[in-house]
Chains A and B, each alone.
Chain A
């Protein structure tokens, strides 16, 4: 495997007595979209702030492009774009001034600025307004554009889709895929499993400051137990639904709650032999995913 873009070694951060993140080891490779998944307060933002040298670790270290971050951050960060999870833009600047300012301070060239402005449907009029008059969604778009406009080699995004409408979420995902196609690396933190499934190659699951699993998305999908609720139009014998990867959790004569793991194709074939009145197969929640790993 090629040299990792981000190398996290035994990273630990305590805020006085309170654990932020503990003994985190992680390698993220070139051209990879790495999903960092966890509920709020799990330690995702702490990890990102440690990667970006905004806070210092209690123990361990982070290397980016092979260089230790603490002492080389101002050299490394030329190749990085960052969308923080919690941020405030300079409210008295206009959107355009802010984007140009971020380019100027980092001495980069905004090769993608205009393209991103168009893609995220910001108008020239919007960019002339002061940021304090922007909605939350517009501020989020500006934060994403400032991170991507220099076409950085490494993109670090902390819950970047927060506040975006579905259309702009898709624009974001398209650009993440585009960056990946160009061999760039993306560290994508989220608490939405569906979002991570959609765009990431690999995922790290973090909870209460500890990395509990690191999987390829395909493996994660296979391991995940999902809940399926079926109401048949007629009574069905539960034995018909017994097969590998399917557990009947509860049932009446025509209503079944199944716990399904792995490939669902054979189950779908089986249930379509009967007349279905209703079928509910929701996205698993983050809690359900974590329970899979705890179990």
Chain B
């Protein structure tokens, strides 16, 4: 049995190369433009003023307090948790398991593929590998975007903090990948798999937002999935990055194992 199927990885690359390129470039470009707009553009003063008038609930969600010494650091950190960045980082972890597991069951692509000497575990493990490399590239692109602003606009920052955020993003989105693989392994249709994964992620996102907004629900924040990826907390050293990564690793092991076992045994 061949544990690594290079042709399968090559096909994934063949299918996803343009999407991945767009995601990587847009991530880097976003962080670059973001820093420029907020700190070096003619609008930067206006934006900081605007942030001063935002309600405390909103500023607590995005983790930015204008007029403080931490404003710049917090703002840059928010650039790593901006909804656009969350969407680009979660694009492949959500879409690929739905397409390459549930979608190929639905379309009967596997009737030819799995009549070859290919172990069933190849599909979930190789999807995971591919998304792992893609997420690493995306995380690297985000840090690169920030690094370029540091060099070009002399924005004062500790790049190591942002490497730590990128690392947290990497493990967080890998845990999301393994979770999506598990859901896809239980579904026969791409559309159903996609809607279930997206639905659950949106639920987690709003769970996190609501528990942050409502003081009486603060206790429930402990169980928030998105708590595992809080860039501003990492940069301001409010939380241990190691702990979050460890939880993500455990989730990865758990869900990837379930996905492999389920896919190995299920009817295709």
Contacts and interface: CB of A to CB of B under 8 A. Distances in A.
A86 B8 CA distance: 22
A114 B268 CA distance: 31
B111 A87 contact: yes
Interface stretch (A26-34, A75-83, A264-272, A274-282): A75-83
Interface residues of A, number: 33
B114 A54 contact: yes
A49 B111 contact: yes
Contact of B1 (A74, A80, A81, A97): A74
B156 interface: no
A105 B113 contact: yes
Contact of A88 (B7, B108, B267): B108
A104 interface: yes
Contacts of A56: 265, 267
B185 to A, nearest CB: 15
Interface string A240-259: 00000000000000000000
B117 A84 contact: no
A88 B118 contact: no
B108 A86 contact: yes
A62 interface: no
Interface string B96-125: 000000000001111111111111100000
Contacts of B120: 74
Given A55-B267, A101-B11, A107-B2, A77 B111 contact: no
Contacts of B15: 92
B112 A146 contact: yes
B267 A90 contact: no
A76 to B, nearest CB: 8
A84 B114 CA distance: 11
A21 interface: no
B127 to A, nearest CB: 15
B268 A87 contact: no
Contacts of A156: 115
B110 A105 contact: no
A87 B7 contact: no
Contact of B117 (A86, A106, A146): A106
A102 interface: yes
Contact of A105 (B1, B5, B14, B107): B5
Nearest to A97: B14
A138 to B, nearest CB: 16
A74 B113 CA distance: 11
B267 A54 contact: yes
27 contacts: A49-B111, A54-B110, A54-B114, A56-B267, A73-B114, A74-B1, A74-B118, A74-B119, A75-B1, A77-B116, A77-B118, A78-B117, A80-B115, A81-B115, A84-B108, A87-B112, A88-B107, A88-B109, A89-B109, A90-B109, A92-B15, A93-B14, A97-B14, A101-B7, A105-B7, A105-B8, A106-B116
Given A54-B111, A101-B11, 8 more contacts: A55-B268, A56-B267, A73-B114, A73-B117, A74-B119, A77-B114, A87-B111, A107-B117
